A and B are shown apart, each in its own frame.
Chain A
Amino acid sequence: MNNKTKQRLSFFLVSVIAFIIIGKFIYESLSKNTVYFFSPSELYISTELPNGLIRIGGMVKKGSLIKAGNRYSFIITDFKNDISVNYIGIKPNLFEEGQGAVVEGKLSTRNSLMASKILAKHDENYMPKEVADALKKSGDWNKNYGK
């Protein structure tokens, strides 16, 4: 092996090692910071409950919203299954009963969630994409929800 080949070989080995380290770093960071989305029905049928942060989307069940100070409790439904949600904080604009919503938080039991965030990026015409998909899946999609 002459000098040049040696140099190339060592360069190659160093880059392979660097790639592996960086790749592992990226992979870990990505999987740690991924928030999975579930519809109430998906959660109902899942055998293993997700721990860590998840998102749940559906409609806020009519008549389920209870407010005490800045504590809220309500039910998210896809008209097949329900999840009850507890939330402490500021209620975002346009979060109302009978509207679509996505909440982020941790499950405390199979059908109740302690929410840390309510995502309300939608207006009256625009249904969050995940919610629309979830409702389509549970067969309760009404064309008027979308537009």
Chain B
Amino acid sequence: MIGTKIMASNFANGVLILSIFFSFLSNLFFFQKKFNLSIRLFNFSSTLIIFTFLLLIYFFYSSNFSIAAVYENSHTLKPIFYKIAGTWGNHEGSLLLFIVIIAVYGSLFSILFNKAESEKFKSWVIFFQNNLFLIFLIFLITTSNPFDIIIPRPIEGLGLNPILQDPLLVIHPPFLYLGYVGFSLTLSLVLSGLVNKNLNSNWAIISWPWVMIAWVFLTIGITLGSVWAYYELGWGGYWFWDPVENASLMPWLAGTALIHSMLVLKLKNQMKSWTSLLAIITFSFSLLGTFLVRSGVLNSVHAFANDPDRGVFILMIIFIITLSSLIIHILFSEKNKPITNFFLSKESFVNLNNLFLLFFLFVVLLGTIYPIILSIFDQTISVGPVYYNTILAPFVFIFLILMSLGPLLKWSNKIKLQALYIYIFIFILCLVLSIIIIVLSNSYDLILFLGIASSLFLIFSILSEIYKGSIRIKPFYLPRLLSHMGVGIFFLSIFLNSYYSYTKDFEIKINETKNFDNLSLKFVDHSIGKIENYLEMKTKFEIRSGKEVFNLEPSVRKYFQPNQITSETSIKPTFFSNYYLAINFPDSQSIILGARYYYNYLIHGIWLGLLLIIFGGFLSVFKKRI
């Protein structure tokens, strides 16, 4: 029995090593200019790695505790669904997933991209992808082999952090990884374009879907994380400027700048060197995100058990990849011919877009790594959300206004100013509307006023564009219209949400009623029961808000393995808002509940905005050339 278990681990290790071997061979044949063979060997190697991943899933599924990664992160009591999800809920498994995704992007590209005349370009892309693959594979085998064995075989596993036991969290990391790691192919495409001197509009057309799909996945990943935080953590919010959230936002900001500069490259054959630099930055920030989450330098909800030595390794990998990419960039990047763009042209507005997004990136980066830098000097600090909000807000207003105007301009040409007069009128209309909203709700605040006005301006300018293009909107513009509309709705909802939402903390006994403003909350019932691998205390509250009466049923779970408590929130959605209630586990003797009530205004608007952004991006993946 023990023999077969050890064999299983040895077998998996054997396949891993075989995969490294073929990846090396692929490099060898590449240098001998046997491009076809090199690509095939890469594909073979990537098939092997996908196979090992399936093997690991099987070990998790069958609770094979002789595998260390399974022992540390699984438990026989866990539901099957979460056993499987446990595969990527830990460092070793998630790193294997990371490598699998590098392999899948590379192989998909080699299969789907078939242009006889650019075979050299293709094999260079696969060459770079193969080396990224190899670097991480070696990292996996030397520091975090998922197939390490334990002898003797433990009878029971240690369990998975129960806060991760949530369906959203099962799909959140894979999507995030599909985004992060998707930018590895972007990097390979750029490096190959640089080396082959064909980083031009044709390159941008070829690369567009691959960059967009990574961007869409990353956006979905971030959105899922945000939705999860809202429903699961019981803190009532959707974004906390937590360092790990920032780690995923930074490559997103860089990637968003990248897709806008790629537009200029695609349509005007300009911004070549800048685009390649942005691609390098984007992937470097994806790696930095991995480093921040995995190294243990951060203290956050996400910081699972960590190992600082791995952090040093990842830091070295980031350094090597970024440095060698930059060297290739410097050696091969073509000098742009000096072009003077008119200020009121699309090109210069894309420049502004990039400038703003990189500024946002810088602000987030500073807030995220400042505590890490200070910790070297033995000071422990944390940076509060107010830092981000106060710095970013004024620039977001300008950004939104520029975003409304940019797409209305023309490429290279001066636009007739008369065409913009109507937008001055629209802008004034937005200011007036914003004043009306503020006066009606009796909340006089400059930031709220500017926030509403600028996001309304974006929404209205898109609406007017749709109206002018009336009846048939050219499909070419549809992705941009949808995504930008999403951004407008997103920010409008954020500003309104942050001003009209409120929180109440209270303690309550059974049958007691609490009154806030025009709302009354009554604690009517509770029950405790054992479900699968946790104990659950369910409660029932009766809420009266004006004429409306409804029940909220929040609960708390006490997990056995490992011992942990999680709150399950209860939410009553209405058209404009969410009534949100979360409770704490009561002191053992008396049923006095600590509870937290949130009134969340327009939270749907935030999700809707994000959905539109994602949908627009998704359409753009399939957009035919110009």
Chain A residues at the B interface, C-beta cutoff of 8 Å: 22, 25-26, 29-30, 32-37, 55, 69-70, 89-94, 121, 123-126, 128-130, 133, 147
Contact = CB atoms under 8 A, between A and B. Distances in A.
Contact of A133 (B380, B381, B505, B565): B380
B486 to A, nearest CB: 28
Interface in B319-343: none
Contacts, number: 81
B303 A129 contact: yes
B563 A124 contact: yes
Contacts of A37: 379-382
Q: Lowest 4 CB-CB distances: which A-B pairs, in order?
A: A37-B380, A90-B594, A33-B387, A93-B565
Contacts of A22: 359
A129 B300 CA distance: 9
B568 to A, nearest CB: 12
B367 interface: yes
A74 to B, nearest CB: 14
Interface in B271-330: 296, 299-301, 303, 305
B161 to A, nearest CB: 7
Contacts of B386: 29, 32-33
Contact of B584 (A93, A123, A126, A128): A93
B562 interface: yes
B573 interface: no
Given A26-B391, A34-B382, 9 more contacts: A34-B383, A35-B382, A36-B379, A37-B382, A69-B507, A70-B507, A70-B594, A91-B594, A128-B299
B382 A91 contact: no
17 contacts: A26-B366, A29-B387, A29-B390, A29-B391, A30-B366, A32-B386, A32-B387, A34-B387, A35-B382, A35-B383, A36-B380, A37-B380, A37-B382, A69-B507, A90-B505, A121-B300, A147-B305
A29 B563 CA distance: 39
B562 A125 contact: yes
B507 A36 contact: no
A69 to B, nearest CB: 7
A43 to B, nearest CB: 13
A94 B380 CA distance: 23
B584 A92 contact: yes
Given A123-B161, A129-B299, A33 B584 contact: no
Given A30-B366, A123-B564, A89 B384 contact: no
A55 B380 CA distance: 9
